Amino acid sequence: MDPNDTDSRSFNRVSVVGLGYIGLPTAAFIASKGIAVVGIDVNQGVVESVNAGQIPFFEPGFDELLSRVVKEGTLTAQTEQVDADAYIVCVPTPFRGDHSFDTKYIRAACGALAPHLRAGTLVVLESTSAPGTTEDMAKHLVELRPDLSLNDEDDNAIFVAHCPERVLPGKIMEEMENNDRLIGGLTPKGAELARQLYSTFCTADLLVTDAITAEMAKLTENSFRDVNIAFANELTVICDRLGIDVWELIELANHHPRVNILQPGPGVGGHCIAVDPWFIVSAAPDEARLIKTARDVNDGKPEWVMKQVLRALEGKEKPVVSALGITFKNDIDDLRESPSLEIVKRLSVENPHLDIRVVEPNVKKLPPVLSNLSNIKKQETMEAIAAADVVLLLVNHKEFITLEHSVLQGKKVIDTKGIWS
Ligand SMILES: NC(=O)c1ccc[n+]([C@@H]2O[C@H](COP(=O)([O-])OP(=O)(O)OC[C@H]3O[C@@H](n4cnc5c(N)ncnc54)[C@H](O)[C@@H]3O)[C@@H](O)[C@H]2O)c1
């Protein structure tokens, strides 16, 4: 087949680079359509776990799909890159200390896949990226492989696209196939090939655009959420100052037919909403004023929650705080950028006299950043509540929502998610 014939392209082998929360489900979904997928990860432990058919993280319902495609042999994992018709790059995209976009994982992934490129290969950047990253990545690939071209019309062309991911951890099985997707081609042929690849497993609309618009659209979605959450978080602080119940206030305001205020919380966490707005701020610092302020408001919320806890404990000689939940959102095990984890850690470090009990049904043991602190221990819900002077609800896990309210009687309760209000 002519490598430049994008009209009827089939993908015999796809390489998915980075087998984390996003890459591994993507690899498994493509493999479930009968396409040979090789998952590449630098972490040998992840590779072994995948080849044993076991998910290295928690995602409801995904274990069955993974073990099936591994057993059938359509998905294999390894550390060394392979020849493939298409590469999907799903490596981490963190920010640096100054909040600028860090491309080190993307560049490392490019370095490993560049020797395997040939005319007609498709490279998709799926990692959430700052505006212009896909183009920079493509230029880097042809720097590494000057025998290849980025011009659609050349015989030695490779094709590049950005297809950002929108799934919600915890709902990946449903959303991976059913969410509409953005297909941002660096060139028209890049867009068309990427559309064909994603149509193998995605049944929703595939919305074709250019790469930089797709990059910015993904960042915009998460910044929209961040700004709206910041509004709710700021209301919490204002209402506390004015002696108003914020939960009742939001409930009442949301009866307006065109108002839909989100629920406040202890801050904003995770790998996306707490991170992605910074890529816009860093790309346009003078213009992104509201987006920057929203980040500051949300990043300031853990400090405000800590002050509430210390205020509630005033006068106690041996104060016990029981913190319910440390993940960044409900019913998952993901601790990345978690404001709840930060609150617990800072309460412990800055107040060594506190006795802190942590309840977290979704993790087997506390992460070292907490377990290394001598005034913190993990406990079961009832035991922790019984011992508490202050019950600090940080995450709305289902186990806490269904708790009998009577067990909280006589306790000071700080409910940052409003589940018991
Ligand atoms: N987790 C989410 O909910 C979510 C949602 C949408 C988009 N994203 C984006 O998807 C991207 C990946 O996120 P994730 O949550 O899957 O990350 P993750 O940390 O769960 O997984 C990344 C994996 O990449 C591997 N890796 C790192 N460098 C590598 C390299 N050079 N070659 C091969 N493997 C390498 C790591 O070992 C790890 O297993 C990020 O850009 C993130 O912003 C994440």
Are 237 and 101 part of one and the same domain?
Answer: no
The residue among 139, 170, 204 that closes a domain is: 204
As for how many domains the chain has, the answer is 2
pLDDT, tens digit (0-9, with 9 covering 90-100), for 220-259: 999 999 999 999 999 999 999 999 999 999 999 999 999 9
Are 55 and 186 part of one and the same domain?
Answer: yes
Full residue range of the structural domain in which residue 97 is found: 13-204
Q: Is residue 327 pLDDT above 80, yes or no?
A: yes
Determine the average pLDDT of the residues in 206-211. Answer: 98
* Percent residues over pLDDT 90 in the chain: 93
| 319 within domain boundaries | yes
CB distance 17 to ligand 1 below 6 Å: yes
* Nearest to 56, CA basis, from 85, 14, 28: 28
Take residue 323 and report the two structure tokens written for it.
């913190």
Instruction: Give dist(CA 134, CA 330) in Å, integer.
Output: 32
Are 230 and 195 part of one and the same domain?
Answer: no
* Nearest to 66, CA basis, from 56, 57, 55, 81: 55
pLDDT, tens digit (0-9, with 9 covering 90-100), for 44-92: 999 999 999 999 988 889 999 999 999 999 999 999 999 999 999 999 9
pLDDT at 421: 79
pLDDT at 5: 55
* Percent residues over pLDDT 70 in the chain: 98
Q: Give the number of residues written for the chain.
A: 421
Q: Is residue 1 pLDDT above 70, yes or no?
A: no
Are 261 and 200 part of one and the same domain?
Answer: no
CB distance 108 to ligand 1 below 6 Å: yes
pLDDT at 228: 98
CB distance 252 to ligand 1 below 6 Å: no
Take residue 63 and report the two structure tokens written for it.
């274990």
pLDDT at 411: 95
Query: Rounded mean pLDDT of the chain?
Result: 95
Backbone φ and ψ of 182, nearest 5°? -95, 130
Q: Is residue 7 pLDDT above 60, yes or no?
A: no
Least-confidence region, from 55-64, 143-152, 295-304, 389-398:
55-64
Are 151 and 228 part of one and the same domain?
Answer: no
pTM metric for this prediction: 0.90
The residue among 159, 176, 204 that closes a domain is: 204
Q: Extract the runs of DSSP E, i.e. beta strands, from 189-339.
A: 206-210, 320-324
Mutation test of ligand 1: which of 166, 271, 280 has the most ligand atoms closer than 8 Å to its C-beta? 271
Instruction: Give dist(CA 272, CA 225) in Å, integer.
Output: 10
Of the listed 272, 301, 329, 345, which one is catalytic? 272
CB distance 125 to ligand 1 below 6 Å: no
CB distance 185 to ligand 1 below 6 Å: no
Gap from CA of 23 to ligand 1 centroid (Å): 7
CB distance 23 to ligand 1 below 6 Å: yes
pLDDT, tens digit (0-9, with 9 covering 90-100), for 105-130: 999 999 999 999 999 999 999 999 99
Would you call 218 a catalytic residue per the annotation?
A: yes
For residue 93, which atom of ligand 1 is closest to its CA? 41
The residue among 174, 204, 234 that closes a domain is: 204
Where are the alpha helices (H) located in 114-187, listed in sequence order? 133-144, 172-178
Are 141 and 272 part of one and the same domain?
Answer: no
Instruction: Give dist(CA 321, CA 348) in Å, integer.
Output: 10
| 235 within domain boundaries | yes
For residue 24, which atom of ligand 1 is closest to its CA? 16
* Residue at token pair 């377990």: 371
Are 356 and 225 part of one and the same domain?
Answer: yes
Are 349 and 292 part of one and the same domain?
Answer: yes
Are 142 and 226 part of one and the same domain?
Answer: no
Are 91 and 190 part of one and the same domain?
Answer: yes
pLDDT at 9: 63
Gap from CA of 139 to ligand 1 centroid (Å): 22
Gap from CA of 200 to ligand 1 centroid (Å): 22
CATH number at residue 390: 3.40.50.720
Least-confidence region, from 134-148, 205-219, 269-283:
269-283
Are 225 and 351 part of one and the same domain?
Answer: yes
Are 186 and 263 part of one and the same domain?
Answer: no
Determine the average pLDDT of the residues in 178-207. Answer: 97
Q: Is the separation of the CB atoms in 17 and 23 below 8 Å? A: yes
Helix 104-113, helix 133-144: angle, nearest 10: 40
Would you call 163 a catalytic residue per the annotation?
A: no
